[in-house]
Structure 1
Amino acid sequence: MSSNYPESDAANSTTSSNEHWSSVSKHVVNSYLEANNALLAAMGLPPSSETEFGTLTARNRPETAEEPITELAFGDEAWLMERSVDSYEDLAVGEYVRFTKTIDETDVSAFAHISGDTNRLHLAESFAEQTQFGGRIAHGTLVAGTISAALARFPGLTIYLSQDLEFRAPVEIGTTVTAACEIVEQLGDTRYRLHTTVETDDEVTVIDGEAVVVIKESPSD
């Protein structure tokens, strides 16, 4: 069967695609290496600094916040967090956590590679421009993941039981979003119902929903 595309165009398309996924793979592998280094450090072993893609640079190495939250493995200095209480014993109706980060190009590319969601709406600008959105947007579930990030910042150990989501608006790549989780009902000793939202930096609510979680006291290190 003949092709409508010249061989040179097809080759260029293949090369461009390979370069794109090579870039994505570098980001994913480097992220994996950092998580592995954290495990090695906990075991008292020296970290690994090399991958098949070369040495990690300061640019792609996650930075640890100056005052990290002890419940979390690591953070990034560009991420912002606000919470109403710092003690597990003070958790009650009305307490909240807010988590802020920018959904950037590397987030979208890595999420597409890891999840397998390679919808062209998120990855191909020429295709996305022809849609109702007029350009590429971030995956809805990637944006919703910031809710999980906020939940992880409650004092104690948070475990998801359920999450209802309503996607109200798209999120353009490069947008800074804030996920907010507020306890609205205590369902038992350790079970809570929360109102969960994600807003853009211009205060547009892009996700609204409700979660049920268990928050237990953190095990001692």
Structure 2
Amino acid sequence: MSSNRPESDTADSTVPSNEHWSSVSKHVVNSYLEANNALLAAMGLSPSSDRHTGTLTARHSPETAEAPITELAFGDESWLMERSVDDYDDLDVGEYVRFTKTIDDTDVSAFAHISGDTNQLHLVESFAEQTQFGGRIAHGTLVAGTISAALARFPGLTIYLSQDLEFRAPVEVGTAVTATCEIVEELGETRYRLHTSVETDEAVTVIDGEAIVVIKSPPEH
């Protein structure tokens, strides 16, 4: 398996070096900004595009994918989003959102720092090489976080009620993943049941599950 572990980490290290932690401090701040970005997206900020057109995701064509949505504050130019509907009033069964990003080394390091999950499987290559995975993999809950990012990009204000997850395969550090959330049932009172999944750029399903959410009309600005 490939690894993006910095050369400064020695083979007998049990935790990332202080220098390595310092290198991700900016990324930690960006993680908080990403949460703000998700909130703005949930409030209905979106590109002006025709229904069911959206933006190509890296899962389908990383070489020719269009630029990400410029209207979303604190966005990353490498993130991609595709959604089937832009207006809240058009939400219905079959509508979906896809969100694509690469789970890179700084994501893994920042998540370990923020969550406290410093399992060596995710952080220390020499340790991870001795496991069944043959190298470092991303935290499962970090990968699952892309589902939340996709949900936030439905038009309106999306609120999680529940999420069931099945982890089917590991994700190597440096892998691009695409989370897809599709409405499969209207439950009434702005509640919806969705099929949620995450795939790698090689179309391998790594997470499968189901979510119950509330999607309210966007607040008036």
TM-score (norm 1): 0.75
Aligned to 1:74: 74
Alpha-carbon deviations, 1:124-163, whole Å to 9, x = none?
0000000000000000000000000000000000000000
Alpha-carbon deviations, 1:155-184, whole Å to 9, x = none?
000000000000000000000000000000
Aligned residue pair count: 181
Aligned to 1:190: 190
CA distance in 2, matches of 1:182, 1:188: 16
Higher relative contact order (CA 8 A, sep 6+): 2
The alignment yields a C-alpha RMSD, in angstroms, of: 2.6
**Unmatched 5+ residue regions in structure 2?**
1-11, 37-66
Residue type of the alignment partner of 1:75: G
CA distance in 2, matches of 1:168, 1:153: 25
CA distance in 2, matches of 1:96, 1:161: 18
CA distance in 2, matches of 1:120, 1:213: 34
Q: Percent identity?
A: 84
Aligned to 2:173: 173
CA displacement at 1:101 relative to structure 2: 0.6
**Unmatched 5+ residue regions in structure 1?**
1-11, 37-63
Distance 1:155 1:14, change over 3 A: closer
SS at match of 1:160: strand
Aligned to 2:87: 87
Q: When you count helix as a share of all residues, which structure comes out higher? A: 1
The answer on whether the counterparts of 1:184 and 1:195 sit within 8 Å (CA) in structure 2 is: yes
The answer on whether the counterparts of 2:15 and 2:120 sit within 8 Å (CA) in structure 1 is: no
SS at match of 1:21: helix
TM-score (norm 2): 0.75
| Structure with bigger gyration radius | 1
CA displacement at 1:18 relative to structure 2: 1.9
Correspondence 1:1-221 to 2 at 5 A:
17-29=17-29, 32=32, 65=68, 67-69=70-72, 73-221=73-221
The answer on whether the counterparts of 1:24 and 1:113 sit within 8 Å (CA) in structure 2 is: no
